[in-house]
Amino acid sequence: MIHVGDQSNVNQFIEQAVSGDTREAVGFAIQLLDTGWSKVSIIDGVLAPAQREVGARWQRGELGVADEHLASNVAETALYALASELPMPDVHGSVVVACAPGDWHSIAGHMFAEGLHASGVATTFLGASTPAADVSRYLVKHRPNALAVSCAMPLFFTGVTELADAAHSFDIPVIAGGRAFAEHPEWAMRVGADAYAPDVTRALEILATWEVAAPPLALGQTRSNERLATLDTRASEFAARAFHDASTRVGTFARYTSREAERAKENLAYMVRFVAAALYVDDTAVFTDYLSWLVDLMGSREVTKSAVLAGLESLRAIPELRGGDIGATFDTGAAFLAESP
């Protein structure tokens, strides 16, 4: 049975998706279409919330990585099925959608592109992690009305800037969206976008406004910073050094299996990279938001906050990460962890 407008639709799709029942999940989405739901409402009201809930269940330790990947594949199959069921709408305007370089989380961008297309906008989705040079070649050839950039994590902020600069060089405005900007829309403009859109409805409003009057483009937003780039590229090295230090001081780290040690090093490397992202947009919330997420994730896997703080303290002890704005950001993170419940 289909229940319109409640969480049961999301739950039903999730259960079908994580069980690998692609036929039932896709059939359910088509049933919603047949009962009068628009394609955009199915995407925004069922598929997108289902993806967010699957991610939340993974974070709580209720689902594994394989379950999450399976659910994403089923959702993409449902998107293609919905596209084949709908007649071609009257087309107006044109938008190119791309994921920031480095960002392989493509399903949100795909959903956004399909939603625009279903609303009558000629839309091309370039897929995951699209290099700026390739986007440039596509833009100069096709000259769309706008470029939309999807970004799942702050780690890919520099990629958003690269794509925004590429579009602006051809006087094409940029809309940014994705999970990385959901709680902090202002970050979208700090990395070079001309507007932020949390969903298709808002994007359509922005595009309609731009049809009347072209926006002043955020030109010259390139924020290349060799120091921050080095911080990002050396993250794994810093993580290995911090883990070695923590292993000599903290019994928890010394008792890790090889697999647990590798995961701990990955988390330490992410700490370094999120510090770089925080400095890129001049907002320590990038780092503290990640630490909050990490503590919740580790807690669901029976790793205490004190272990996360111990790893952070080992990073702070590395000479290259002391002092200046880098050290200050690490200090802010340590204070945040110490004060949080």
What integer pLDDT is reported at residue 224 of this predicted model? 58
As given in the structure block, the two tokens for residue 242 are 């911090």
CA distance linking residue 64 with residue 60, whole number of Å: 10
Q: Say which residue, 252 or 235, is predicted with more confidence.
A: 235
Residues 149, 171, single domain; the answer is: yes
Report how many domains make up the chain. 3
* pLDDT exceeds 60 at position 3: no
- pLDDT cut 90: percent of the chain above it: 72
Residues 243, 232, single domain; the answer is: yes
The pLDDT tens digits of the residues spanning 153-168 come to 999 999 999 999 999 9
Residues 23, 109, single domain; the answer is: no
* pLDDT exceeds 60 at position 80: yes
The pLDDT tens digits of the residues spanning 182-202 come to 999 999 999 999 999 999 999
What integer pLDDT is reported at residue 219 of this predicted model? 65
* pLDDT exceeds 80 at position 280: yes
CB contact burial 260-269 (16+ within 10 A = b; e otherwise) = ebeebbebbb
* pLDDT exceeds 90 at position 92: no
Give the domain CATH number at 216.
3.40.50.280
Residues 60, 119, single domain; the answer is: no
The pLDDT tens digits of the residues spanning 206-242 come to 999 999 998 988 765 555 578 888 899 999 999 999 9
Residues 64, 75, single domain; the answer is: yes
By C-alpha distance, which of 106, 116, 32 is closest to 72? 106
Residues 106, 79, single domain; the answer is: no
Q: SS3 string of the chain?
A: CCCCCCHHHHHHHHHHHHCCCHHHHHHHHHHHHHCCCCHHHHHHHHHHHHHHHHHHHHHCCCCCHHHHHHHHHHHHHHHHHHHHHCCCCCCCCEEEEEECCCCCCCHHHHHHHHHHHHCCCEEEECCCCCCHHHHHHHHHHHCCCEEEEECCCHHHHHHHHHHHHHHHCCCCCEEEECHHHCCCCHHHHHCCCCEECCCHHHHHHHHHHHHHCCCCCCCCCCCCCHHHHHHHHCHHHHHHHHHHHHHHHCHHHHCCCHHHHHHHHHHHHHHHHHHHHHHHHCCCHHHHHHHHHHHHHHHHCCCCHHHHHHHHHHHHCCHHHCCHHHHHHHHHHHHHHHHCC
Residues 200, 325, single domain; the answer is: no
Straight-line distance from the first to the last Cα atom of the chain, in angstroms, rounded to the nearest whole number: 42
φ and ψ of 117, to 5 deg: -60, -40
Residues 240, 303, single domain; the answer is: yes
* pLDDT exceeds 70 at position 27: yes
Cβ of 251: how many Cβ atoms within 10 Å?
A: 8
Cβ of 150: how many Cβ atoms within 10 Å?
A: 30
Mean per-residue pLDDT, 147-157: 96
Q: At what angle do helices 22-34 and 65-85 cross, to 10 degrees?
A: 40
Mean per-residue pLDDT, 111-115: 94
The domain in which residue 70 lies consists of 1-85
Q: Which of 64, 85, 106 is the last residue of a domain?
A: 85
* pLDDT exceeds 50 at position 120: yes
Instruction: Compute the C-alpha angle 42/47/51, nearest 5°.
Output: 160
CA distance linking residue 128 with residue 56, whole number of Å: 22
Give the domain CATH number at 38.
1.10.1240.10
Q: Which of 185, 206, 223 is the last residue of a domain?
A: 223
- pLDDT cut 70: percent of the chain above it: 95
Residues 191, 248, single domain; the answer is: no
What integer pLDDT is reported at residue 309 of this predicted model? 93
Residues 101, 185, single domain; the answer is: yes
Q: Mean of the per-residue pLDDT values for the chain? A: 91
Q: What is the pTM of this model?
A: 0.88
What integer pLDDT is reported at residue 279 of this predicted model? 95
Residues 169, 289, single domain; the answer is: no
Give the domain CATH number at 326.
1.10.490.20
Residues 147, 20, single domain; the answer is: no
Q: Which of 166, 191, 223 is the last residue of a domain?
A: 223
